[in-house]
Structure 1
Amino acid sequence: MDKFSDMTLFVSIVKNQGLAAAGRELGLSPATVTARMQALESRYGVKLLNRSTRHISLTDAGAMYHQSCIDIIDRVKETENILHTGIIEVRGTLKICAPRDIGKQYISPIISEFCELYPDVIPYLYLNDNLSNVMESGLDLVIRYGELADSNLVSRKLVSSQRVLCASPKYLRKRGTPIIPQDLVNHDCLVMVRSNEELKTWYFQDAEHRRAITVIPKRFSDDGEIIRQWALDGIGIAMKSYIDVQEDIKTQRLVTVLNAYTKNFNSSTSSAGADLNVIYPSRQHQPKRLRLFVDFLIAHFSENT
């Protein structure tokens, strides 16, 4: 079996998170996929996948091979387009992951504008608020607050932001406005859950002191859009990135409190964790559709925020 076919098979296994699912996609029997995978690892003398009955994950060697496979496959497809048409066509899939509120408010309209310019690009937009393993997920890019600690990834800032505490005027009329961080223990707070961790310890920094306040959760969610909606409904106080709620603040549907303090979900005094970034695998040869979309994304945020 030729090496390019093995690369296509390996990418399909990682994308589908299983040998049997990859076989179904490519029209191969489970026995054939297993045999080819074993032959591939034997050829290079390294283990590429950690396999269990329910899950697969990439080894370090597998992550490197997977990224190289994607690069090569993209380059071959781009070269074929040039040979067929004489020009570099902008076509193919573009797999994007973003937080729900940012995805709906900003990224979805940007994708629509981009696809008007390049109608042969087929976007996938996945919405979630948990950090993804970009190398294993098959995603082309992830839009996230803060950076991911992975040297194989490129991170470019879309917009500077900061954490704010916000609540509806209705809630503040009923419960009062906190003046110092310690006042939050007497308030209902809306708490994010990230990777099964309840982010109920909030950190505050002013000119003289840094302090941690463990708030009293009224409700939990792993979805930032839900947290925002609960705040709008008057349920409690939320910690959000300013860019998520800037329109709500401008229209006074939400009011910010404790503005004299820098706020965060962790003990870092840096506000960079609230900056919105686009993160994608580092490749020597990026597909043209990805290069164009990243530039389009950055330009859009530069012009509109």
Structure 2
Amino acid sequence: MDRYTEVRSFALVAEHGSFAAAALIEGVTPVIMGRRLDALEKRLGVKLMHRSTRGLKLTDLGEQFLEGAMALLKEFDKIESSITADRNTVRGHLVVSAPAAFGRKHVAPHGPAFQKRFPELKISFNLTDSVVDLVRDGYDMALRIGTVTDPNYVAVNLYPNRRVLCATPDYLERNGAPQTLEELSQHNCLAFNLMGGQQRGWTFLRDGKPIAIRVSGNLDCNDGELLFDWVKQGLGIGWRSTWEIQAELKRRELVTLLDEYAIPAYDIQAIYPQQRFLPAKVRFFIDYLKEVYNQPGYWDGSR
């Protein structure tokens, strides 16, 4: 008799309070369940459970062993779940965090189609520009824009992205195009003001080294979508991600500026906490988003 069967049988008897109930779940007779417990106690050399006509009662060592047994069985179930190839087994509750504007356009809208593939799965989205703590706040995964440096997280690149300066042709016709980073001080820069973004300035790459340029303008906001709308209205220069502006660039409604100074590594990433076995619900959703994002024409709206 294998050890797993013995441990599982012991845990079932302890959980349900009788050999008959546990035997019904296992599809065997109560006598067989009793033999399994006998074999486990003999191998361990200790008494795990007192049995009498009045019922079952765990010994002190039995209580201790049950705690470890439940953790072991749970870990075993996670191992099986992590390597299963059957997509129909994806179930449970997937909790996802994403930046507000990006999540609204490119994460949450794909939830219904993904959930349709896995009817037993429930999905919750939290869209916020605040950086959440996945473990403390109970998230299975998050979407992030830019390099993730936290060693407690695993990052998976979903699609390449950069941060670039952009403006409308009308704005540039009225104000001219900056030729150097220093000339940005002469322009109306529409900055993100959450967590001191405007005070820290915009970060570029010059001669292979990051450089922060202080910018100013007559409008700032903590909402990226509103800032993007102002840029499209020709009110100033914006610092946007390439995922956000592909359609406008294709229609020539926006023009990029000072591209040679853009930070190259600002990719769209999925992150999740470091763990021995990745839940199937997380793995499959990451694969699904990667599949969607890499469809030709997805980002410029031409597909």
- Runs of 5+ unmatched residues, structure 1: 1-68, 264-270
Cα shift readout 1:73-93 (whole Å, capped 9, x = no counterpart): 9958x98xx9xxxx9632222
- CA contact 2:199–2:214 (8 Å) conserved in 1: no
Would the alpha carbon gap of residues 209 and 288 (structure 1) be closer, same or farther in structure 2, given more than 3 Å must change? closer
1:83-232 to 2 correspondence within 5 Å? 89-198=89-198, 200-207=200-207, 211-232=211-232
Contact 2:198–2:214 at 8 Å: present in 1 too? Answer: no
Partner of 1:243: 243
Kindly provide the amino acid, as one letter, of the partner of residue 140 in structure 2: D
Show structure 2 runs of 5+ residues with no match. 1-70, 299-303
Give the Cα separation in 1 of the matches to 2:89 and 2:252: 46
Partner letter of residue 279 of structure 1? I
**1:6 matched residue in structure 2:** none
What do you get for the CA RMSD once the two structures are aligned? 3.1
| Residue 256 (structure 2) aligns with | 256
How far did 1:279 drift? 0.5
Rounded to whole Å, the distance in 1 between the matches of 2:77 and 2:199 is 42
Separation (CA, whole Å) in 2 of partners of 1:294 and 1:209 = 32
**Residue pair 1:99, 1:224 contacting (<8 A) in 2 also:** no
The answer to whether the 8 Å contact 2:193/2:222 transfers is yes
8 Å Cα contact 1:101-1:244 kept in structure 2: no
C-alpha deviation, 1:202, in angstroms: 2.2
Where 2:179 maps in the other structure, the secondary structure is: coil
What amino acid does structure 2 have at the position aligned with 1:283?
A: Q
Question: CA distance change for structure 1 residues 282 and 75 in 2, over 3 Å: closer, same or farther?
Answer: farther
Contact 1:96-1:142 within 8 A present in 2 as well: yes
- Assess, with a 3 A threshold, how the Cα gap between structure 1 residues 88 and 191 changes in structure 2: closer, same or farther: same
Equivalent position of 1:294 in the other structure: 286
1:189 touches 1:237 (CA, 8 Å); kept in 2? yes
Q: Report if the CA contact (8 A) 2:165-2:237 is conserved.
A: yes
Assess if the C-alpha contact under 8 Å between 1:91 and 1:121 holds in 2: yes
Instruction: Return the offset for 1:166.
Output: 0.7
**Which one of the candidate residues 263, 267, 275 is aligned to 2:267?**
275
Q: CA deviation at 1:130?
A: 2.4
Q: Distance in 2 between matches of 1:208 and 1:281?
A: 31
Give runs of ≥4 in structure 1 deviating > 4 Å: 71-76, 206-211
> Which AA in structure 1 matches 2:151?
S
CA spacing shift, 1:146–1:225, aligned 2, 3 Å: same
Q: Residue 187 of structure 1: CA displacement?
A: 0.8
The Cα of 1:212 is off from its aligned counterpart by 3.7
Q: 2-side partners of 1:135 and 1:74: how far apart?
A: 22
Secondary structure of 1:195's counterpart equals helix
Q: TM-score, normalised by structure 2?
A: 0.64
1:105 partner SS: helix
In structure 1, how many angstroms separate the alpha carbons of the residues matched to 2:209 and 2:197?
Answer: 26
Would the aligned equivalents of 1:191 and 1:200 in 2 still touch at CA under 8 Å? no
Counterparts of 2:293 and 2:185 in 1: how far apart (Å)? 37
- 1:95 maps to a residue whose letter is V
Cα distance change of structure 1 residues 97 and 281 upon mapping to structure 2, 3 Å threshold: same
SS in structure 2 opposite 1:139? coil
Q: Deviations over 1:229-279 (max 9, x none)?
A: 11112221111111121112112222111123234xxxxxxx32x111100
Cα distance, 1:208 vs structure 2: 8.1
